[in-house]
A and B are shown apart, each in its own frame.
Chain A
Amino acid sequence: MSTLAYDGTAMLGRQLRRIRNNPGLAILTQTMPITMLLFFGYVFGSALAMPGEEYRAFLVPGLLVATAANGIMTGMFQAAQDSHRGVMDRFRTLPMSRAAVPLGQAVADLVVTAAGTVPLLLVGLAVGWRIEGSALEAVCALGLLLLFRFAATWIGIFLGLLSRSEEAAGQLGSATFMLPLLSNAYIPTDNLPGWLRAVAEWNPISAVSTALRTLFSPKLSASLEQGGAPIAPVPEGAAWPVAHPVAGSLAWCAVLIAVFLPLAVRRYATGGR
C-alpha cells in the first residue's frame, strides 16, 4: 500500500504538472458551465413557467453535477492520450504500483475540479442561488459532488484506455454532454412521460443533483409554499435514488467506483495485451 501511496503521489505530481504546462482543457471544461448557467438561466429561464431567479437557484446544483459528470469526458481524453504514448510503456516496465498511474490521474482531476468549481459557485451566488442549509450540509454537498466526480473520472479512464485513438475518445467523450439532458440537472422531471421520467430519474446525475438541492436548500419547499411555483427538491412519486437523494447518490457512487476502478486498473496494468 505504501508503494501505491508513494507512486500515486509521484503520478499525481506528473498529472498536475501536465495540467499546469497545458491548462487549456481544464480551463475550458471549468468555465463552460458558467456560460451555460447564464445562457440557461436567463434565456431558457425566461421561457419557463417558474420565475427566472428560482430557476437559476434550481439550475446551479444541476450544473455543478453536470460539470462533475464531465469527468467522464476529461478522464477518457486524458487516459486515451496517455495510453497511445510511449511513456505508458515505460511506466509498465518500471517496478511500480500498477494502480498508480490511473489513481494519480483521478486524484489530480479531483484537485483541479475542486479549485475549478469555486468560480461557478460564485457566479451562482451572484445570480440568485443561495446556500440555505447549515455549513455542515454545504460541506457534505460539496463532498458528494467531488465523490461523484471521482466516480465519473474512473468511468472515463476505463473508456479512454479502451478507445483506439485520442480522436475516438474525444468524439465519444463529447457525446457525454447529453447525459445531463436526460436527468433533472436542467429541468424538473415530474412532468416527463412515465417511462422517460423513470430513465431520467435512474440517471445518477438526477440523484446527485437532487441531493445537492436538498443539502444546499433544505427549506426550499417550505419557502416556495409562500407563493412560488412548487419545485420541491424531491418531487412526489420519484424513483428510489431521487426520493432518497443522499443515500441514492452514495449508492450510485459506490457502485460506479466498485465497477470502474478495478476495470480501469486492470485495463491499465495489462495494456490490452
Chain B
Amino acid sequence: MTTTYAVLSEGLEKRFGDVHAVRGLDLAVAEGTVCGVLGPNGAGKTTAVRLLTTLLRPDAGSARVAGHDLVREAAAVRRSIGVTGQYASVDGDLTGRQNLRLFAKLHRVRDAQARAAELLDRFGLTEAADRPASTYSGGMRRRLDLAASLIRRPAVLFLDEPTAGLDPASRNRIWAAVRALKGEGTTVLLTTQYLEEADQLADDIALVDRGRVAHTGSPAELKALIGSYAEVVVAHADAMAQAAAVLDQLTGREPTFAEERHAVGAVTTDPTLTLPRLVRELDAAGVPLLDATVRPPTLDDVFLRLTDDRNETPTDRKELVT
C-alpha cells in the first residue's frame, strides 16, 4: 500500500533580505494524520505555514498540498485548505455571526446563515454571536477563527500555534476540536512551541530548527531515540565518583554531575536498564544510595538533545518548556 501525502514539500526556501527563514524544508504529512511542526521561536514554522498556504511564494523548492502544486495550482490549493493563523484572522469590526456568514458566502455555501449558526453552536459562541469579534476574549477569538477555517470541511487544515497564549480550558477545547477533526479524516498540520501539545495531538512530529526539519518521527520514535535518563543521589560527595563509575559501565555514556545535590546522571538507550536493576547494581557496588530514578524522556529532552548544537541562552530554553 502506498501512502498518499496531503502535504509533501521538497527543498522549500524563503529569504527575507538577509534572513534565510526557511532553508530546504522537506516535509511529508500522510493523509488523515496530524503532523506537529515543533520548534522554538524563529525556527521558521510560521514562514513554512505561510508558504504552504500560498501566502508566500517560495524562492526555491516545490510542494504539493492536497495533490496540487503550490505555485502553479494555487487556486486549487486554496479550495482544499483551511488556515488558522497565529493571531485570530477574523474581522474584529464584524460580529462573530457576520464573520462566519461572510466566509460562508465566500465559500459559496448555499445557506450561509444556517452554516454560521451551526458553527457558532459547535464552538460555544452562540451567546456572543452578535457582539463584535474585537470584544471577544483570546480563547473565543481563536475558536471563532477555527470555526471560520472549517466552513467547508478542508482536506488539509493548517493551525499556526493554535493555543499560544490561551488558558488551559480554552486550550483543551481547541485540542478536542483537533481530535474530532482527525476523527473525521481531516489532515492537520499544526505548529507549536509546546512539546506537550505535539505529544498530545500529533501522529508525527517534525522538529524544525533554523529553517529546516532537523528530525521527524512519531512521539514514541523520538523518545526511543533519546532513551531514558537515569539519575542517582548519593549520601556524600565522596561517593559520587563511585556512582559515576557504575553508571558509566551500565550506560556506556559519560555521566553528568550535579555537585550540590550529590547527584549523578546518565542517558541510556538500553531498555533493560530498569529502576530495580539500577538499584541492585549500585547496591552491589556498595554505593550509599539516597535516591534513584529512571525516567522516560519528555519531549523537552528530545528537543534539547536533537537541537543541542545551537548556542542558546538559558532564557531561550525556558520558553520551550511549558
Could you tell me the distance in whole angstroms from the C-beta of B234 to the nearest C-beta in chain A? Answer: 55
B105 lies within 8 A of A10 (CB) = yes
B91 lies within 8 A of A14 (CB) = yes
Complex: how many Å from CA A17 to CA B96? 13
Q: Given the interface contacts A92-B54, A273-B57, does A85 sit within 8 Å of B92 by beta carbon?
A: yes
B93 lies within 8 A of A89 (CB) = no
Verify if A93 is at the interface (C-beta below 8 Å from B).
yes
B54 lies within 8 A of A86 (CB) = no
Could you tell me the distance in whole angstroms from the C-beta of B150 to the nearest C-beta in chain A? Answer: 12
B54 lies within 8 A of A90 (CB) = no
Segment touching A, from B2-10, B75-83, B261-269: B75-83
Interface residue from B55, B89, B90, B106 paired with A271 (Cβ < 8 Å): B55
Q: Which residue of A lies closest to B105 (CB)?
A: A10
Kindly state the interface size class of chain A when it binds its partner: 20 to 34
Q: Which residues of A contact B132 (CB under 8 A)?
A: 21
Kindly state the interface size class of chain B when it binds its partner: 20 to 34
Q: Which residue of B lies closest to A9 (CB)?
A: B105
Q: Which residue of B lies closest to A88 (CB)?
A: B89
A93 lies within 8 A of B81 (CB) = yes
Main secondary structure of the interface of B (DSSP, over half): loop
Q: Which residues of B contact A94 (CB under 8 A)?
A: 78, 103, 106-107
Q: Which residue of B lies closest to A92 (CB)?
A: B55
Could you tell me the distance in whole angstroms from the C-beta of A2 to the nearest C-beta in chain B? Answer: 11
Q: Given the interface contacts A10-B106, A86-B85, does A93 sit within 8 Å of B94 by beta carbon?
A: no
Mask: chain B, 172-195; 1 = CB below 8 Å from A; 0 = not:
000000000000000000000000
Verify if B218 is at the interface (C-beta below 8 Å from A).
no
In A82-102, the 8 Å CB interface with B consists of 85-96
Interface residue from B50, B86, B94, B103 paired with A21 (Cβ < 8 Å): B94
Verify if A22 is at the interface (C-beta below 8 Å from B).
yes
Mask: chain B, 63-90; 1 = CB below 8 Å from A; 0 = not:
0000000000001001101010111111
In B31-79, the 8 Å CB interface with A consists of 50, 53-57, 75, 78-79
Could you tell me the distance in whole angstroms from the C-beta of B81 to the nearest C-beta in chain A? Answer: 7
Q: Which residues of A contact B108 (CB under 8 A)?
A: 6
Mask: chain A, 253-273; 1 = CB below 8 Å from B; 0 = not:
000000000000000001101
Verify if B216 is at the interface (C-beta below 8 Å from A).
no
Could you tell me the distance in whole angstroms from the C-beta of A6 to the nearest C-beta in chain B? Answer: 8
A17 lies within 8 A of B98 (CB) = yes
A95 lies within 8 A of B105 (CB) = no
B56 lies within 8 A of A273 (CB) = yes
A90 lies within 8 A of B78 (CB) = no
Verify if B102 is at the interface (C-beta below 8 Å from A).
yes
Interface residue from B75, B86, B91, B107 paired with A87 (Cβ < 8 Å): B91
B54 lies within 8 A of A13 (CB) = no
Verify if A201 is at the interface (C-beta below 8 Å from B).
no
B55 lies within 8 A of A10 (CB) = no
B93 lies within 8 A of A86 (CB) = no
Q: Which residues of A contact B81 (CB under 8 A)?
A: 93
Complex: how many Å from CA A91 to CA B79? 12
A18 lies within 8 A of B88 (CB) = no
Verify if A109 is at the interface (C-beta below 8 Å from B).
no
Q: Which residues of A contact B98 (CB under 8 A)?
A: 14, 17
By a beta-carbon cutoff of 8 Å, the part of chain A in contact with chain B is: 6-7, 10, 13-14, 17-18, 21-22, 85-96, 270-271, 273
A-B contact pairs, 5 of them (CB 8 A): A13-B102, A85-B89, A91-B106, A94-B103, A95-B107
